[in-house]
Amino acid sequence: MRARAPRASLTRMPASDRISLPAAAEIPWRYYDLAKSRVQIHEPPAPGEVCLWLVPTEFRFASASNIGNWLNAAERRRARLHPNSALGRRFSVSRATLRLVLSHMLNCEPQDVGVEDEPDDRIVVTHPLVEGAIHVDVAYSGIWIVIAVSSARIGLGLTSGAYDEDARQAVRDEAVQIGRARAERGAAIESAGQADWHGLTLPMPGGICGVLVVDKPVARVQAFGWERPLEAEGGATAP
């Protein structure tokens, strides 16, 4: 099952305690199957570009063999000792998929990508071929894994959805706040406060509300795993 994607938008967010997501100008999304990451992604995201993956926990490319080869000893131990085996499996798939997509960008083997876990769930990517910053965030909701990679600071906010308009707005606000807090991790207080934050609404499946918070304007999105909306067929957003 993949999400049916509505038209995507970029929302400029005011620097206030309560950040809303009003109607915003559209930006181009290019939609691909998950399996096409290797042939479509050959370098880290350019300025203004965001790469996104929507991955189910049973992603077939993250096989038991790949997980065993691509994860380091600490990551395998973390997954194995997780008190909930399903969540341990989800972490393994997310980390293996992250290494896979980063290896496409850096032209190396997945196990050669350095992925360090910092406090507050912050992920730091290191590799000799990394020039400039590669910012990464990974978030979960149910069986779904969302991976975001950008040259700008980013944070994912995923919350359970609601079906009446008043509750939907509260859920969106919560997702924005979570995303902004995650984007600010590891940044100096001064620079975080001065950032020009933007919110990218993610077309998530079911009742999930998803927002990506970015500290730079987004000009283009490369999206893997989302179903292409009907209005994009044959249009500018089609690959």
For 133, the token pair is 């910053």
What are 13-41's pLDDT values in tens digits? 444 444 434 333 467 899 998 877 777 88
d(CA 108, CA 127): 9
Residue 108 near residue 129 (C-beta atoms within 8 A): yes
> Residues with Cβ < 8 Å from 123, sequence gap 6 or more?
98, 115, 116, 117, 136, 137, 138
Residue 9 near residue 231 (C-beta atoms within 8 A): no
Please report the beta strands in the chain, taking only residues with DSSP state E, as ranges in sequence order: 10-12, 29-32, 49-56, 114-118, 122-126, 135-141, 144-150, 154-160, 198-202, 208-214, 220-224
Quote the pTM value.
0.85
> Residues with Cβ < 8 Å from 34, sequence gap 6 or more?
53, 55, 59, 61, 224, 225
Residue boundaries of the structural domains of the chain: 10-228
Q: Which residue has the higher pLDDT, 151 or 234?
A: 151
With 50 as the cut, is the pLDDT of residue 186 above it? yes
Strands of the sheet containing 10-12, edge to edge, are 10-12, 198-202, 208-214, 154-160
What are 36-47's pLDDT values in tens digits? 777 788 888 999
With 70 as the cut, is the pLDDT of residue 1 above it? no
What are 121-162's pLDDT values in tens digits? 889 888 777 676 889 999 999 999 999 999 999 999 999 876
- Say which CATH architecture domain 10-228 belongs to: Alpha-Beta Complex (3.90)
Is residue 227 very low, low, confident or very high in pLDDT (cuts 50, 70, 90)? confident
Q: Which residue has the higher pLDDT, 165 or 233?
A: 165
